[in-house]
Amino acid sequence: MTPTSRPVAYFCLGLSMALVGSYVALSKPLAAIFPVMLLAWLRFGIGGIAMLGWVRRPANEPPLSRQTRLLLFFESFFGNFLFTLCMITGVTLTSAVTAGVTMAAIPAAVAVMSWLFLREAVSRRTWAAIFLAVLGISLNALNKSAEATASATGSQAWLGQLLLVAAVLCEASYAVIGKKLTASVSPKRITALINLWGFALSTPAGLYLAWQFDFAQVSGPQWGLLLFYALAACVWTVWLWMTGLRTVPASQAGIFTVLLPISAALTGMLALGERISGMQLLAFGIALASVLIATWPERLQDKR
């Protein structure tokens, strides 16, 4: 498998995270219609139908080893299945803007996991970035306007914040495991196989909830939003991300997750009518500063 050029890889990574940010925000109105597990099951099912032709192994690709099969399962469980549950529930209990600020910690989390599991070098600036990211999340969690936006009690808001932090860790695991997978499996096949695992994991609860759910109450535009959400979450973003990861180190790819919180916040404001308070702006600024600090050494290295 020939890696893509750096500019193309950067474009794929950036577009992937921008799309993730948009569907993070748009999952909130969908979660108000569908139970979370039913929404996840429908998402994986639609994605599976769209990628039927991607499952078969290409002639130039080796058979899956036992380790690769295990990595595919963990890639789906953490980055696909568990991330979906934590993210959707977290957004439901807080707000799209809150999710955007929290997701700004992903680059630092990716850098730490890349250092731990891939042995990629991490500078002192990244450790400082981790501190700022945690500070930004803490300020946002204490923001009373976020709780009011979510129309939730204090305990629900804190639970939502914890679930969003869990989603950050799942997304970081997704980046690190994905980097290892791209060494032996094509991006399209990775996308299709981890989606099948997600569908299998969500099928028991999905079937149970589908049996009780009144699908006649779902309007045409809501079905259209579900279709966009499923294709963006299961097909486009995963394929774009894996394509970029074939060329770019995982720690450097984490730079582009800055587009996730920006896209989520913009979508929350433009599509959902949410507002950003002064405290959230401060938290957002601190979180984004952590991204700049974490990525600054890599950018200097690229220019050399």
Q: What is the pLDDT at residue 97?
A: 66
Structure tokens at 244: 């970029």
Q: What is the pLDDT at residue 170?
A: 93
Any domain includes 107: yes
Flag whether the pTM goes above 0.85: no
Please count the structural domains in the chain. 1
Query: pLDDT of 177-212, one tens digit each?
Result: 999 999 889 999 999 999 999 999 999 999 999 999
Residue 301, pLDDT > 50, answer no
Any domain includes 270: yes
Any domain includes 181: yes
Any domain includes 103: yes
Any domain includes 67: yes
Cα–Cα distance, 210 to 34 (Å, whole number): 9
**Look-up: residue for tokens 């948009």?**
22
Any domain includes 262: yes
Query: pLDDT of 217-255, one tens digit each?
Result: 999 999 999 999 999 999 999 999 999 998 888 877 877
Q: What is the pLDDT at residue 302?
A: 44
Residue 260, pLDDT > 50, answer yes
Q: What is the pLDDT at residue 122?
A: 65
Residue span of the structural domain in which 60 resides: 6-303
Any domain includes 1: no
